[in-house]
Amino acid sequence: MLKERTKAMFAQALLQTMETKELSKVRVLELCRLCGTDRQTFYYHFRDKYDLVAWIYESDLQETFLSAHNTPSREQTEFLLCRLQRRQSFYSKAFQDMTQNSLFAYMHTANCRITEALAIERVGGRALTEKERFSIHFVSYAWVCTIAEWINNGCTPAPEIFADYLFSNHVFAHPGFLEASGEK
């Protein structure tokens, strides 16, 4: 599919550029030159460079959580961490940018979206209570902050150990979290 190949080409150009530059210093025109395209092509696929960063993360995420299982598993968490570790330099630099469209904000939003959809499925389609949504958002912020810190500290401990730490604190690791609000 041409559209996905073009997006992947821009992603590769951004990954390559961020080997030597901070995200704030990367310009769309520079990515277009590397890809042999014009700015119109870039903006056809992405709103801005932050949208491209989000697409890279979403690609890593889709291969992890959105494939086989309806509920995130410890193994999926480890798989995602391994993917993030392989691109540690890129993610570390992306996390340094805390603008409105930052990777941090995108990861939090994506994590909440996925977790809320799974929670609604788990409770038979009913709307989540305010307390349940709060729990999901609270844990999501903790997850994203902790992952950012892990990446910025050189991805230690190893992904398999860190996955245990993270997953033991995921809302789905606590089977009764949906019932804890007192509203079933």
86 and 164 together in one domain: yes
Beta-carbon count within 10 A of 14 CB: 25
Integer Cα distance of 132 and 180 in angstroms: 8
Contacts of 124 (CB under 8 A, 6+ apart): none
| CA 121/CA 183 separation, integer angstroms | 15
* Look-up of token digits 């939003």: 109
Is the pLDDT confidence value at 183 over 60? no
Q: Do residues 107 and 20 both lie within one domain? A: no
- Examine the domain organization and report whether 108 and 37 are in the same domain: no
Measured distance CA(181)–CA(184) in Å, rounded? 8
Whether 41 and 57 map to the same domain: the answer is no
Indicate if 55 and 138 belong to the same structural domain: yes
Q: Could you report the per-residue pLDDT of 35-94, keeping only the tens digit for each?
A: 999 999 999 999 999 999 999 999 988 877 655 555 667 888 899 999 999 999 999 999
| 3-class DSSP assignment, residue 86 | helix
Q: Could you tell me if 38 and 93 lie in one domain?
A: no
Residue-level pLDDT at 70: 55
Q: Per-residue confidence at 20, pLDDT binned at 50, 70, 90?
A: very high
Residue-level length of the chain:
184
Q: At 98, phi and psi to the nearest 5?
A: -110, 35
> Do 110 and 164 sit in the same domain of this protein?
yes
Q: Tokens standing for 124?
A: 């038979």
Question: pLDDT class for 179, splitting at 50, 70, 90?
Answer: low
Mean pLDDT of 6-34: 97
The total number of structural domains in the chain stands at 2
Range of the domain at 147: 50-184
**Are both 118 and 168 inside the same structural domain?**
yes
Q: Note whether 74 and 120 are same-domain residues.
A: yes
Checking if the pLDDT of 113 tops 80, the result is yes
Q: Among 143, 34, 154, 31, which residue's Cα sits nearest to residue 91? A: 154
Residue 157, preceding bond cis, omega within 30 degrees? yes
Q: What is the model's pTM? A: 0.86
Q: What is the CATH number of the domain that holds 56?
A: 1.10.357.10
Q: Is the same domain home to 28 and 62?
A: no
Using the predicted structure, report yes or no on whether residue 122 has a pLDDT greater than 60. Answer: yes
110 and 40 in a single domain? The answer is: no
Domain identity same for 40 and 98:
no
